[in-house]
Amino acid sequence: MTAGAMAALLATFVAGLSLMGLGLRRHRRAVGAALPVADDVALAETEGAAQVAAQVVAQVEGLLTAQTQAQADALADLKAEILGLKSDVEWLAGERMIEQAIALAKSGVEAEEIGRELGMSRDAAETIVAFRRH
């Protein structure tokens, strides 16, 4: 059962208890003081149940808060992991691009063509060509 479903069920339960208490009070007014002891007992039971329901609501709220915090922490950890993977992929892609530029420079391709083909700046391509020639 999800947290949302539990919260909805609990809210329905509390609303039912409130309606029962309201109904008992109306009934007591309608009947008068004919059965004061029975009505008082029923009202006390309803109030006790409302207190228990309030405690349950507080516990559910605490659990939901803890779960929300745990999810936020897990999301932060996941984000950090993804950023690390992104950095690794960018490094590998850069490394691969340099290897391709070196191979093209060794085969005699001009710096401008290397830059256009690999999507790197002309200055970077010229630097690679200059180092590969020497």
What's the domain range around 86?
A: 3-133
* All residues at 6 or more sequence positions from 24 whose CB lies less than 8 Å from its CB, including other chains: 39, 42, 43, 46
Rounded CA-CA distance 15/8 in Å is: 10
Rounded CA-CA distance 132/91 in Å is: 21
pLDDT(67) > 90: yes
The per-residue pLDDT for range 79-124, each reduced to its tens digit, is 999 999 998 888 888 888 888 888 888 888 888 898 888 888 888 8
- Angle (CA) 92-95-96 rounded to 5° is 85
The per-residue pLDDT for range 15-38, each reduced to its tens digit, is 777 777 777 777 666 655 454 445
Each as own residue / partner, the long-range contacts of residues 116-120 (CB below 8 Å, 24 or more positions apart, any chain) are none
Does the reported pTM lie above 0.95? no
Domain count, the chain: 1
